[in-house]
Structure 1
Protein backbone atom coordinates (compact mmCIF):
# COMPACT_ATOMS: atom_id res chain seq x y z
CA UNK A 1 0.00 0.00 0.00
CA UNK A 2 1.38 3.43 -0.95
CA UNK A 3 2.80 5.73 1.68
CA UNK A 4 0.79 8.49 0.04
CA UNK A 5 -2.24 7.17 1.89
CA UNK A 6 -0.57 7.42 5.27
CA UNK A 7 1.20 10.77 5.25
CA UNK A 8 0.60 12.48 8.62
CA UNK A 9 -1.80 15.36 8.20
CA UNK A 10 -0.42 18.85 8.67
CA UNK A 11 -2.78 21.82 8.71
CA UNK A 12 -3.95 21.87 5.10
CA UNK A 13 -3.31 25.14 3.34
CA UNK A 14 -0.76 26.33 5.88
CA UNK A 15 2.80 27.22 5.01
CA UNK A 16 5.14 24.28 5.48
CA UNK A 17 8.39 24.69 7.39
CA UNK A 18 11.45 23.89 5.26
CA UNK A 19 13.24 20.66 5.97
CA UNK A 20 16.97 20.53 6.70
CA UNK A 21 18.87 20.73 3.46
CA UNK A 22 16.00 22.35 1.60
CA UNK A 23 16.15 25.62 -0.31
CA UNK A 24 18.59 24.37 -2.97
CA UNK A 25 16.58 26.20 -5.60
CA UNK A 26 14.55 29.42 -5.79
CA UNK A 27 10.94 29.03 -6.90
CA UNK A 28 10.12 31.59 -9.60
CA UNK A 29 6.62 30.36 -10.48
CA UNK A 30 3.95 28.53 -8.49
CA UNK A 31 4.06 24.76 -8.96
CA UNK A 32 0.51 23.48 -9.43
CA UNK A 33 -0.33 19.83 -8.78
CA UNK A 34 -3.15 18.49 -10.96
CA UNK A 35 -4.73 15.06 -11.39
CA UNK A 36 -7.43 12.72 -10.16
CA UNK A 37 -8.68 12.38 -6.61
CA UNK A 38 -6.34 9.95 -4.89
CA UNK A 39 -3.34 10.79 -7.08
CA UNK A 40 -1.48 12.23 -4.07
CA UNK A 41 -1.64 15.93 -4.94
CA UNK A 42 -1.91 17.09 -1.33
CA UNK A 43 0.63 14.67 0.17
CA UNK A 44 3.18 15.14 -2.60
CA UNK A 45 2.53 18.88 -2.82
CA UNK A 46 3.02 19.35 0.90
CA UNK A 47 6.25 17.33 0.88
CA UNK A 48 7.52 19.19 -2.19
CA UNK A 49 6.82 22.54 -0.53
CA UNK A 50 8.70 21.41 2.57
CA UNK A 51 11.62 20.26 0.45
CA UNK A 52 11.79 23.63 -1.33
CA UNK A 53 11.02 25.71 1.76
CA UNK A 54 8.01 27.46 0.21
CA UNK A 55 4.33 27.79 1.19
CA UNK A 56 1.90 24.97 0.43
CA UNK A 57 -1.69 25.83 -0.43
CA UNK A 58 -4.71 23.70 -1.28
CA UNK A 59 -7.47 25.24 -3.41
CA UNK A 60 -10.19 23.04 -1.87
CA UNK A 61 -9.14 24.11 1.62
CA UNK A 62 -9.19 27.77 0.59
CA UNK A 63 -12.70 27.38 -0.85
CA UNK A 64 -13.92 25.70 2.35
CA UNK A 65 -12.38 28.44 4.49
CA UNK A 66 -13.97 31.21 2.42
CA UNK A 67 -17.40 29.56 2.41
CA UNK A 68 -17.19 28.18 5.96
CA UNK A 69 -18.55 24.95 4.49
CA UNK A 70 -17.09 21.63 3.38
CA UNK A 71 -16.82 20.75 -0.31
CA UNK A 72 -19.66 18.16 -0.04
CA UNK A 73 -21.85 20.78 1.64
CA UNK A 74 -21.13 23.29 -1.14
CA UNK A 75 -21.98 20.68 -3.78
CA UNK A 76 -25.22 19.78 -1.96
CA UNK A 77 -26.38 23.36 -1.41
CA UNK A 78 -25.12 25.24 -4.47
CA UNK A 79 -24.26 22.59 -7.08
CA UNK A 80 -21.13 21.77 -9.03
CA UNK A 81 -21.34 24.75 -11.41
CA UNK A 82 -21.25 27.19 -8.49
CA UNK A 83 -18.32 25.31 -6.96
CA UNK A 84 -16.34 25.37 -10.23
CA UNK A 85 -16.80 29.13 -10.53
CA UNK A 86 -15.52 29.70 -7.00
CA UNK A 87 -12.69 27.24 -7.64
CA UNK A 88 -11.47 29.28 -10.62
CA UNK A 89 -11.62 32.48 -8.60
CA UNK A 90 -9.62 30.96 -5.76
CA UNK A 91 -6.96 29.49 -8.07
CA UNK A 92 -6.56 32.87 -9.79
CA UNK A 93 -6.08 34.56 -6.42
CA UNK A 94 -3.59 32.01 -5.15
CA UNK A 95 -1.52 32.24 -8.35
CA UNK A 96 -1.26 35.99 -7.83
CA UNK A 97 -0.55 36.04 -4.11
CA UNK A 98 2.53 33.87 -3.60
CA UNK A 99 5.03 31.58 -5.26
CA UNK A 100 4.89 28.11 -3.78
CA UNK A 101 3.17 24.77 -4.31
CA UNK A 102 -0.57 24.64 -4.98
CA UNK A 103 -2.72 21.49 -4.91
CA UNK A 104 -5.94 21.69 -6.94
CA UNK A 105 -9.12 19.65 -6.95
CA UNK A 106 -9.52 16.83 -9.44
CA UNK A 107 -11.90 18.78 -11.69
CA UNK A 108 -10.04 22.09 -11.74
CA UNK A 109 -7.86 21.33 -14.75
CA UNK A 110 -10.85 20.42 -16.94
CA UNK A 111 -11.55 24.12 -17.44
CA UNK A 112 -9.72 25.56 -20.44
CA UNK A 113 -9.54 28.92 -18.67
CA UNK A 114 -7.94 27.31 -15.63
CA UNK A 115 -5.42 25.40 -17.76
CA UNK A 116 -4.43 28.56 -19.59
CA UNK A 117 -4.20 30.60 -16.38
CA UNK A 118 -2.07 27.98 -14.63
CA UNK A 119 0.37 27.65 -17.54
CA UNK A 120 0.70 31.43 -17.86
CA UNK A 121 1.34 32.13 -14.19
CA UNK A 122 2.80 28.83 -12.97
CA UNK A 123 3.63 25.32 -14.10
CA UNK A 124 1.21 22.39 -14.00
CA UNK A 125 2.36 18.92 -12.97
CA UNK A 126 0.08 15.95 -13.58
CA UNK A 127 0.41 13.24 -10.96
CA UNK A 128 -0.48 10.31 -13.20
CA UNK A 129 -1.81 7.33 -11.25
CA UNK A 130 -3.50 4.23 -12.69
CA UNK A 131 -7.21 3.66 -12.05
CA UNK A 132 -6.67 0.74 -9.66
CA UNK A 133 -4.22 2.80 -7.59
CA UNK A 134 -6.73 5.63 -7.35
CA UNK A 135 -9.54 3.28 -6.35
CA UNK A 136 -7.47 1.70 -3.59
CA UNK A 137 -6.80 5.14 -2.16
CA UNK A 138 -10.31 6.61 -2.29
CA UNK A 139 -12.72 3.68 -1.86
CA UNK A 140 -12.85 3.83 1.96
CA UNK A 141 -13.38 7.57 2.11
CA UNK A 142 -16.83 9.16 2.19
CA UNK A 143 -15.94 12.81 1.58
CA UNK A 144 -15.78 12.66 -2.25
CA UNK A 145 -19.11 14.12 -3.43
CA UNK A 146 -18.68 12.88 -7.01
CA UNK A 147 -18.35 9.28 -5.79
CA UNK A 148 -21.57 9.24 -3.76
CA UNK A 149 -23.31 7.03 -6.33
CA UNK A 150 -24.65 3.43 -6.37
CA UNK A 151 -21.52 2.37 -8.28
CA UNK A 152 -18.57 4.47 -7.03
CA UNK A 153 -15.96 2.40 -8.90
CA UNK A 154 -17.85 2.79 -12.15
CA UNK A 155 -18.17 6.51 -11.49
CA UNK A 156 -14.45 6.82 -10.78
CA UNK A 157 -13.66 4.88 -13.98
CA UNK A 158 -15.87 7.19 -16.03
CA UNK A 159 -14.30 10.28 -14.46
CA UNK A 160 -10.82 8.87 -15.07
CA UNK A 161 -11.47 8.13 -18.73
CA UNK A 162 -13.05 11.55 -19.30
CA UNK A 163 -10.38 13.53 -17.48
CA UNK A 164 -7.10 11.91 -18.56
CA UNK A 165 -7.03 13.74 -21.94
CA UNK A 166 -7.24 17.06 -20.09
CA UNK A 167 -4.55 16.11 -17.55
CA UNK A 168 -2.32 15.11 -20.47
CA UNK A 169 -2.23 18.79 -21.43
CA UNK A 170 -0.29 19.62 -18.25
CA UNK A 171 3.16 21.14 -18.64
CA UNK A 172 4.82 18.13 -16.97
CA UNK A 173 3.74 14.62 -16.00
CA UNK A 174 5.01 12.45 -13.14
CA UNK A 175 4.00 8.90 -12.26
CA UNK A 176 2.33 8.27 -8.90
CA UNK A 177 2.22 4.55 -8.16
CA UNK A 178 1.59 2.24 -5.23
CA UNK A 179 5.23 1.19 -4.90
CA UNK A 180 6.77 4.65 -4.55
CA UNK A 181 6.85 6.68 -1.33
CA UNK A 182 5.81 10.33 -1.17
CA UNK A 183 9.47 11.37 -1.07
CA UNK A 184 10.13 9.20 -4.10
CA UNK A 185 7.41 10.95 -6.06
CA UNK A 186 8.79 14.31 -4.92
CA UNK A 187 12.16 13.26 -6.36
CA UNK A 188 10.42 12.56 -9.67
CA UNK A 189 8.76 15.97 -9.59
CA UNK A 190 12.09 17.70 -8.97
CA UNK A 191 13.68 15.72 -11.80
CA UNK A 192 10.88 16.86 -14.12
CA UNK A 193 11.25 20.47 -12.97
CA UNK A 194 14.95 20.37 -13.86
CA UNK A 195 13.81 20.97 -17.44
CA UNK A 196 12.09 24.22 -16.41
CA UNK A 197 14.68 26.85 -15.35
CA UNK A 198 11.83 29.40 -15.60
CA UNK A 199 10.28 27.70 -12.56
CA UNK A 200 13.21 26.65 -10.38
CA UNK A 201 16.37 28.70 -10.38
CA UNK A 202 19.28 26.71 -8.89
CA UNK A 203 21.28 28.55 -6.26
CA UNK A 204 24.88 29.28 -7.09
Structure 2
Protein backbone atom coordinates (compact mmCIF):
# COMPACT_ATOMS: atom_id res chain seq x y z
CA UNK A 1 0.00 0.00 0.00
CA UNK A 2 1.08 3.51 -0.69
CA UNK A 3 0.48 6.54 1.47
CA UNK A 4 -3.06 7.87 1.95
CA UNK A 5 -3.15 11.52 2.92
CA UNK A 6 -6.18 12.99 4.66
CA UNK A 7 -6.59 16.71 4.01
CA UNK A 8 -9.17 19.27 5.07
CA UNK A 9 -9.75 22.21 7.33
CA UNK A 10 -9.20 22.00 11.09
CA UNK A 11 -12.15 20.09 12.53
CA UNK A 12 -12.93 18.17 9.34
CA UNK A 13 -12.17 14.83 11.03
CA UNK A 14 -8.68 13.96 9.76
CA UNK A 15 -7.26 12.89 13.14
CA UNK A 16 -10.45 11.06 14.13
CA UNK A 17 -10.59 9.12 10.86
CA UNK A 18 -6.86 8.28 10.53
CA UNK A 19 -6.64 5.53 13.19
CA UNK A 20 -9.72 3.51 12.18
CA UNK A 21 -8.83 3.89 8.49
CA UNK A 22 -5.30 2.68 9.21
CA UNK A 23 -6.68 -0.32 11.12
CA UNK A 24 -8.89 -1.26 8.17
CA UNK A 25 -6.01 -0.82 5.71
CA UNK A 26 -3.45 -2.66 7.89
CA UNK A 27 -1.30 0.46 7.88
CA UNK A 28 0.33 2.80 10.37
CA UNK A 29 -0.98 6.31 10.83
CA UNK A 30 0.40 9.62 12.01
CA UNK A 31 -0.97 13.06 12.71
CA UNK A 32 1.41 15.46 10.96
CA UNK A 33 0.71 18.27 13.45
CA UNK A 34 1.60 15.95 16.34
CA UNK A 35 4.82 15.03 14.55
CA UNK A 36 5.70 18.72 14.02
CA UNK A 37 5.14 19.37 17.74
CA UNK A 38 7.21 16.31 18.69
CA UNK A 39 10.13 17.36 16.49
CA UNK A 40 9.97 21.01 17.57
CA UNK A 41 9.50 20.18 21.25
CA UNK A 42 6.69 22.71 21.53
CA UNK A 43 3.08 23.26 20.55
CA UNK A 44 2.04 24.75 17.23
CA UNK A 45 0.74 27.78 19.13
CA UNK A 46 4.21 28.24 20.67
CA UNK A 47 5.90 27.83 17.28
CA UNK A 48 3.64 30.51 15.80
CA UNK A 49 4.18 32.86 18.77
CA UNK A 50 7.95 32.41 19.04
CA UNK A 51 9.04 31.86 15.44
CA UNK A 52 6.10 32.87 13.23
CA UNK A 53 3.97 31.15 10.63
CA UNK A 54 6.70 31.06 7.93
CA UNK A 55 8.92 28.97 10.25
CA UNK A 56 6.00 26.69 11.07
CA UNK A 57 5.30 26.18 7.36
CA UNK A 58 8.97 25.22 6.82
CA UNK A 59 8.71 22.63 9.60
CA UNK A 60 5.44 21.40 8.14
CA UNK A 61 7.00 21.03 4.68
CA UNK A 62 9.94 19.03 6.08
CA UNK A 63 7.66 16.72 8.08
CA UNK A 64 5.34 16.17 5.12
CA UNK A 65 8.28 15.40 2.80
CA UNK A 66 9.46 12.76 5.27
CA UNK A 67 6.04 11.22 5.87
CA UNK A 68 5.08 11.16 2.19
CA UNK A 69 8.23 9.18 1.37
CA UNK A 70 7.14 6.25 3.55
CA UNK A 71 5.08 3.14 2.76
CA UNK A 72 1.81 1.87 4.23
CA UNK A 73 0.99 5.06 6.07
CA UNK A 74 -2.15 7.11 6.66
CA UNK A 75 -1.29 10.78 7.21
CA UNK A 76 -3.64 13.22 8.91
CA UNK A 77 -2.16 16.36 7.34
CA UNK A 78 -2.43 19.75 8.97
CA UNK A 79 -5.19 21.94 7.58
CA UNK A 80 -2.69 24.25 5.90
CA UNK A 81 -0.33 21.61 4.52
CA UNK A 82 -1.92 22.13 1.10
CA UNK A 83 -0.64 25.73 1.01
CA UNK A 84 2.70 24.45 -0.31
CA UNK A 85 2.54 23.54 -4.01
CA UNK A 86 5.37 21.00 -3.69
CA UNK A 87 3.58 19.30 -0.80
CA UNK A 88 0.36 19.10 -2.84
CA UNK A 89 2.27 17.47 -5.70
CA UNK A 90 4.09 15.10 -3.32
CA UNK A 91 0.78 14.07 -1.77
CA UNK A 92 -0.63 13.03 -5.13
CA UNK A 93 2.57 11.22 -6.09
CA UNK A 94 2.57 9.28 -2.79
CA UNK A 95 -0.98 7.94 -3.22
CA UNK A 96 -4.64 8.81 -2.78
CA UNK A 97 -5.43 12.19 -1.23
CA UNK A 98 -8.75 12.27 0.61
CA UNK A 99 -10.33 15.65 1.25
CA UNK A 100 -12.61 15.51 4.28
CA UNK A 101 -14.94 18.38 3.48
CA UNK A 102 -17.36 19.93 5.97
CA UNK A 103 -19.60 22.98 6.16
CA UNK A 104 -18.49 26.12 7.97
CA UNK A 105 -21.15 25.50 10.61
CA UNK A 106 -20.01 21.92 11.23
CA UNK A 107 -16.33 22.94 11.35
CA UNK A 108 -17.09 25.66 13.89
CA UNK A 109 -19.11 23.22 16.01
CA UNK A 110 -16.37 20.58 15.97
CA UNK A 111 -13.59 23.07 16.72
CA UNK A 112 -15.56 24.39 19.69
CA UNK A 113 -16.09 20.84 21.00
CA UNK A 114 -12.35 20.03 20.84
CA UNK A 115 -10.82 20.89 24.21
CA UNK A 116 -7.28 20.93 22.79
CA UNK A 117 -7.90 23.42 19.98
CA UNK A 118 -7.42 26.55 22.05
CA UNK A 119 -4.15 25.45 23.63
CA UNK A 120 -2.59 23.80 20.56
CA UNK A 121 -3.89 25.69 17.55
CA UNK A 122 -3.34 29.41 16.97
CA UNK A 123 -5.79 31.79 15.34
CA UNK A 124 -4.64 32.16 11.75
CA UNK A 125 -6.24 35.51 10.95
CA UNK A 126 -7.29 38.65 12.76
CA UNK A 127 -10.95 38.07 11.89
CA UNK A 128 -13.47 39.15 14.51
CA UNK A 129 -15.07 35.75 14.95
CA UNK A 130 -14.10 32.13 14.56
CA UNK A 131 -16.76 31.67 11.88
CA UNK A 132 -15.34 34.58 9.88
CA UNK A 133 -11.86 33.05 10.15
CA UNK A 134 -13.13 29.69 8.93
CA UNK A 135 -15.02 31.29 6.02
CA UNK A 136 -12.03 33.45 5.06
CA UNK A 137 -9.51 30.60 5.14
CA UNK A 138 -11.83 28.20 3.32
CA UNK A 139 -12.19 30.74 0.51
CA UNK A 140 -8.39 30.69 0.15
CA UNK A 141 -7.89 26.96 0.67
CA UNK A 142 -10.79 25.27 -1.11
CA UNK A 143 -9.20 25.60 -4.58
CA UNK A 144 -6.02 24.02 -3.15
CA UNK A 145 -7.94 21.19 -1.48
CA UNK A 146 -9.64 20.58 -4.86
CA UNK A 147 -6.28 20.58 -6.63
CA UNK A 148 -4.71 18.10 -4.20
CA UNK A 149 -7.66 15.75 -3.67
CA UNK A 150 -8.20 12.53 -5.57
CA UNK A 151 -11.23 11.66 -3.40
CA UNK A 152 -13.69 14.07 -1.74
CA UNK A 153 -15.80 12.93 1.21
CA UNK A 154 -18.49 15.18 2.70
CA UNK A 155 -18.34 14.63 6.48
CA UNK A 156 -21.27 16.64 7.83
CA UNK A 157 -23.58 14.51 9.99
CA UNK A 158 -21.62 11.30 9.40
CA UNK A 159 -19.99 9.07 11.98
CA UNK A 160 -16.30 8.23 11.80
CA UNK A 161 -17.26 4.67 10.81
CA UNK A 162 -19.42 5.97 7.93
CA UNK A 163 -16.59 8.22 6.72
CA UNK A 164 -14.08 5.34 6.86
CA UNK A 165 -16.52 3.11 4.93
CA UNK A 166 -16.90 5.80 2.25
CA UNK A 167 -13.13 6.21 1.93
CA UNK A 168 -12.58 2.45 1.62
CA UNK A 169 -15.34 2.22 -0.97
CA UNK A 170 -13.81 5.10 -2.96
CA UNK A 171 -10.34 3.53 -2.73
CA UNK A 172 -11.71 0.22 -4.01
CA UNK A 173 -13.56 1.82 -6.93
CA UNK A 174 -11.80 1.93 -10.28
CA UNK A 175 -10.90 5.47 -11.27
Judge same fold: TM > 0.5, yes or no.
yes
Alpha-carbon shift at residue 148 of structure 1 (Å): 7.4
- Residue of structure 1 in register with 2:98 after alignment: 125
Partner of 1:111: 84
Distance 1:76 1:186 in 2: 35
Which residue, out of 83, 91, 112, partners 1:139?
A: 112
Deviation at 1:172, TM superposition (A): 1.1
For the pair 1:38 / 2:11, whether they are aligned, the reply is: yes
In structure 2, what is the Cα distance between the partners aligned to 1:70 and 1:81?
A: 15
* Match status 1:176 vs 2:149: no
Measure the CA separation in 2 of the matches of 1:127 and 1:78. 29
Cα contact 2:108–2:130 (8 A) shared by 1? no
TM-score (norm 2): 0.90
User: Is residue 174–residue 192 contact of structure 1 (8 Å, CA) maintained in 2?
Assistant: no
Tell me if the contact between 1:33 and 1:45 (Cα under 8 Å) persists in the aligned partners: yes
The total of aligned residue pairs comes to 169
Task: List, as ranges, runs of 4+ consecutive aligned residues in structure 1 with deviation greater than 4 Å.
Answer: none
Q: SS where residue 69 of structure 2 aligns?
A: helix
Contact 2:153 2:166 survives alignment (8 Å): yes
Q: Which runs of 5+ in 2 are unaligned?
A: none
Structure 1 alignment gaps of length 5 or more: 1-27, 198-204
1:14-33 matches, cutoff 5 A: 28-33=1-6
Higher helix share: 2
Task: State the shift of 1:196 in Å.
Answer: 5.6
